[in-house]
């Protein structure tokens, strides 16, 4: 009566090849380097995009500040013109001027030729 050992395998089960420790280490190092390089490239692209957007926004802000200064100067000039135009109307309509007597004769003075 002989007993024989029969290996029982499950149907459909795939037995993978076993790797040595040095192969696993090399594979892990390659994956680590690939992952780190990928992260460096992605972070570099994000940094460059962010930096360029910041400089563009700074340039636009600078241009808008220059426009604001120009408009402020133009506003001051227009306000001064309005004040100058209204000044003569105020003088003509002031009660002090109306209460004054008008001159009966007008005399004009000439500049002497000897005095500069």
pLDDT, one tens digit per residue, over 100-113 is: 888 788 888 887 77
Gap between the Cα atoms of 28 and 36, Å rounded: 12
- Domain membership of residue 34 (yes or no) is yes
What's the number of domains the chain is made of? 1
* pLDDT of amino acid 83: 86
* pLDDT of amino acid 112: 76
- Domain membership of residue 4 (yes or no) is no
- Domain membership of residue 6 (yes or no) is no
* pLDDT of amino acid 87: 78
Give me the mean pLDDT over the 7-32 stretch. Answer: 79
For tokens 């105020």, the residue is 90
- Domain membership of residue 104 (yes or no) is no
Residues spanned by the domain of 48? 21-98
- Domain membership of residue 52 (yes or no) is yes
For tokens 């957007």, the residue is 53
pLDDT confidence bin for 11, thresholds 50/70/90: low
- Domain membership of residue 3 (yes or no) is no
pLDDT, one tens digit per residue, over 26-66 is: 999 999 999 999 999 999 999 999 888 888 888 999 999 99
Are the CB atoms for 87 and 93 separated by under 8 Å? Answer: no
- Domain membership of residue 73 (yes or no) is yes
Gap between the Cα atoms of 28 and 39, Å rounded: 16
In eight-state DSSP terms, residue 11 is T
- Domain membership of residue 5 (yes or no) is no
pLDDT, the chain, mean: 83
Are the CB atoms for 97 and 91 separated by under 8 Å? Answer: yes
pLDDT exceeds 80 at position 93 = no
């Amino acid at each position: 009566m002989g007993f024989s050992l029969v290996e029982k395998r499950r149907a459909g089960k795939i037995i993978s090849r076993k790797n040595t420790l040095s192969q696993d280490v090399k594979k892990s190092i390659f994956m680590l380097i690939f992952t780190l390089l990928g992260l460096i490239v992605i972070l570099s692209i994000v940094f460059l995009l962010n930096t360029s957007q910041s400089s563009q926004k700074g340039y636009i802000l600078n241009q808008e500040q220059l426009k604001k200064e120009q408009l402020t100067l133009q506003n001051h000039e227009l306000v001064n013109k309005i004040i100058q135009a209204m000044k003569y109307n105020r003088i003509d309509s002031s009660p002090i001027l109306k209460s004054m007597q008008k001159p009966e004769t007008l005399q004009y003075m000439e500049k002497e030729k000897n005095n500069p």
